[in-house]
Amino acid sequence: MTTPQLKQTALLATAAITALTLITTIFAQQQPAKVDAKILAAAGTAKDALPGTWLTYGLTQTEQRYSQLKQIDASNVGKLGLAWSAPLTQPGARGGTESTPLVWNNTIYQAMDNSIIYALDARTGAQKWMYDAKTDPITASHMCCGTHNRGLAISDGKLILAANDARLIALDALTGKELWQTKVAEISQYYSLTIAPRIAGDKVVIGVAGGEYFIRGFFAAYDLKDGKLAWKFHTVPPAPGKPFEDKAQEEAAKTWTGDWAKYGGGGSIWDGLVYDPDTNLVIAGTGNAEPWPLELRGIKKEDWGKFTNLYTASIVAVDASNGKLKWYYQTVPNDAWDLDSVGGFIMADIPIEGRTRKVIMQAPKSGVFYIIDRTNGQFISAEPFVPVNWVTGFDKKNNGRPIINPDAYYDQGKTVTIYPGGGGAHNWAPMSYNPNAGLVYLPYSAGSYNFTAAAEPDPKAGGGAHGLGRAGQTKQTPMPIWGPDNVGRGGLQARDPKTNTIKWVKTGRGGATGGGTMTTASNLLFQVAGNSLYAYKADSGEELLALPHNLGGPAPPVTYLVDGVQHIGFATGTQFLSLKVGGTAGMPAPPPAPAGKGKGAPKGPPPPPPPPTELHGPDGK
């Protein structure tokens, strides 16, 4: 070959390589970054391979809702305004949501009530696709407290929806096309789903709601690939005489007595489920025993307090590979007061009494903040975060077993006034944890409720079949109440988990339900409460922002990057709002009021939330 020929060949080769590199680059840009078990294990942490996304319900698998993003800080959070808003209403579909969105591949995935998903372009808010699971028409009448959905899961290119009529559905995350469906349980038997599914390696985990009806609760794992059942853990033993599924059920059976099984047993899992990649455990919070009054569960008066009814009102940890029980801690033994062990978990490594503990924390309806060693279920501490009277202490010699106040039990002839109130001291509104500030942020409600038993549970009763009688205003023996005295009727409290004590409180700000919290590495704390977004300094609680919107339906706030710029986003009942520093001032107009109501959008800040007096308030599951 002559020199010019060589030169030409070299040039051609260079051109070919350049073209190939360009094509590869374009192709790589068009291919969305993959989400798998490894990516999820680091999601939201300092080692996040896809920074600026929101890939799992609680941002990290520890569910701290602590973002590494810090472009938005105390100096500029006051300038937050609209980047865009997008409608979340479809003709014929009811608005409303309790769902935490996911953010991946420049797409925001927002689930709404009634098992509807919107995929929105994170840059513009344009709708990429919409999916309606078209649930069974009986669904709403078979759910105690609304056709809610709290979020989605994503992995392996699939978006997983827990549809209200107890179906688990996998969609292609890019197109919204259905890939598989699995029937988890029967809606006709009052099983439903409201919880966000969680990814555990190559499986997706889900728990059933319906604990106010005659269900036998369980949570289960399905193969992400095809939706095939991998394992199931029952939170209530089988009916007497039926074979035990495993040793855990045999042990649980010893804690039930009498003719309890005709009413199912309860033990639903409707909020509070995590996968811990460190220990390979799936940890679930379980609901009340069903029916609520002990006498209807077959427990004679002399045995009140004796039969604990495992694994209801408990924190239950199972091996993620096979669903076998590893440990449990019962937050309310022998529950008679609808004190579901719900509200999301937070996992963290925290120095307590001189050593770092791998803890799991929960602030359930019972009004007590529990801190447990998540590797083995060892009790660390429990402290009331609102006034309580169902419990008088925790037996440290017996792994912190709650000591039930014997006067808190009731029957057809006895009415009791129990603290906290109906709906619980903390419901589904997500907590968050800022490791720099060393604080957990907890929306709460304080109050009381009267309990008395009915003669029979009524499956057609509004809000469920729990067997509560009409509590009159008869005089009751006052019971001693203990807990903090500075928390008012509800609000937001910051707790130091090292000592399990309150650091600061904002009363009158939200409550046990609605919105919830999220915190960032720039020492900010965000809260959605009522119809407003608030921002505070995470360490001191100093308020930096209050942004009203009048659009209803508060859902949890999240944060993400759009073309390298940090945004704050959350769904209202009717619109998704994406905010950035320097965005447009003002909020979109609320949709017209439904015919007959005739009430326009009020101007100015929204009214304070109603006091938590209803037993089945909007979220009193």
All residues at 6 or more sequence positions from 420 whose CB lies less than 8 Å from its CB, including other chains:
365, 366, 367, 386, 387, 388, 445, 446, 447, 448, 449
Q: Contact 146/159 with Cβ under 8 angstroms?
A: no
Reported as half-sphere exposure (CB side, CA atoms, 13 A), residue 332 has a value of: 34
Cβ atoms of 451 and 415 closer than 8 Å: yes
Q: Which stretch binds Ca ion (CB under 5 A): 90-98, 101-109, 248-256, 340-348?
A: 340-348
Distance CA 160, CA 179 (A): 10
**String marking each residue 512-531 x if it binds Ca ion according to CB under 5 A:** --------------------
Quick note: the x/- pattern for Ca ion over 268-307, rule CB under 5 A, is -------------------xx-------------------
Q: Give the number of residues written for the chain.
A: 621
**Token pair for residue 236?**
């209530």
Minimum distance, C-beta of residue 288 to Ca ion, in the bound complex (Å): 4
Give the interface segment with Ca ion, choosing from 321-329, 339-347, 597-605, 611-619 (CB under 5 A).
339-347
Cα torsion 185, 287, 619, 529: sign? negative
Could you tell me how many residues of this chain bind Ca ion (CB under 5 A)?
6
Report, in Å, the least distance between residue 463 CB and Ca ion: 10
Q: Identify the residue among 340, 383, 411, 619 touching Ca ion (CB under 5 A).
A: 340
> Identity (one letter) of the amino acid at 260?
W
Considering only residues 113-172, where is the footprint of Ca ion by CB under 5 A? none
Active-site entry in 271, 338, 340, 619: 338
> Which parts of 4-63 interact with Ca ion (CB under 5 A)?
none
Please check whether residue 217 is in contact with residue 206, taking contact to mean a CB–CB distance below 8 angstroms: no
562 backbone dihedrals φ, ψ, rounded to 5° = -120, 115
**Closest to 393 (Cα-Cα) out of 373, 374, 368, 418:** 368
395 catalytic residue (yes or no): no
Residue 338 contacts Ca ion per CB under 5 A: yes
What would the two tokens of residue 548 be? 């009203």
Both structure tokens of 435 = 């490791």
Contacts of 193 (CB under 8 A, 6+ apart): 162, 163, 164, 165, 166, 167, 168, 184, 206, 208, 209
x/- binding map, residues 182-221, to Ca ion, per CB under 5 A? -----------------------------x----------
Gap between the Cα atoms of 270 and 196, Å rounded: 9
Stretch that binds Ca ion, among 187-195, 199-207, 218-226, 337-345 (CB under 5 A): 337-345
| Least distance between Ca ion and beta carbon 465 (Å) | 11
Q: Where are the alpha helices (DSSP H) in 140-179?
A: none
CB of 212 to Ca ion, least distance (A): 6
Nearer Cβ to Ca ion, position 60 or 366? 366
State both tokens at 417: 């006034």
Q: How far is the CB of 264 from Ca ion (least distance, A)?
A: 13
Q: Which lies closer to Ca ion via its Cβ, residue 211 or residue 384?
A: 211
Cα 593 to Cα 8, 141, 225, 391, 502, distances in angstroms: 73, 24, 44, 45, 41
Closer to Ca ion by CB, 166 or 281: give it. 166
Angle, vertex CA 100, rays to CA 94 and CA 102, nearest 5? 110
Shortest Cβ contact with Ca ion: which residue?
288
Q: Spell out, one character per residue from 465 to 494, where the chain touches Ca ion: x when CB under 5 A holds, - when not.
A: ------------------------------
Q: How far is the CB of 315 from Ca ion (least distance, A)?
A: 16
Distance of closest approach, residue 163 Cβ to Ca ion, in angstroms: 21
Binding region for Ca ion (CB under 5 A) out of 216-224, 335-343, 427-435, 472-480: 335-343
Taking the least distance from each CB to Ca ion, the nearer of 230 and 465 is 465
What six digits make up the tokens of 93?
Answer: 């579909």
411 in contact with Ca ion (CB under 5 A):
no
Cross-strand pairs, 347: 360
**Residues designated as active site:** 338
Residues engaged in binding Ca ion (CB under 5 A): 211, 287-288, 338, 340, 621
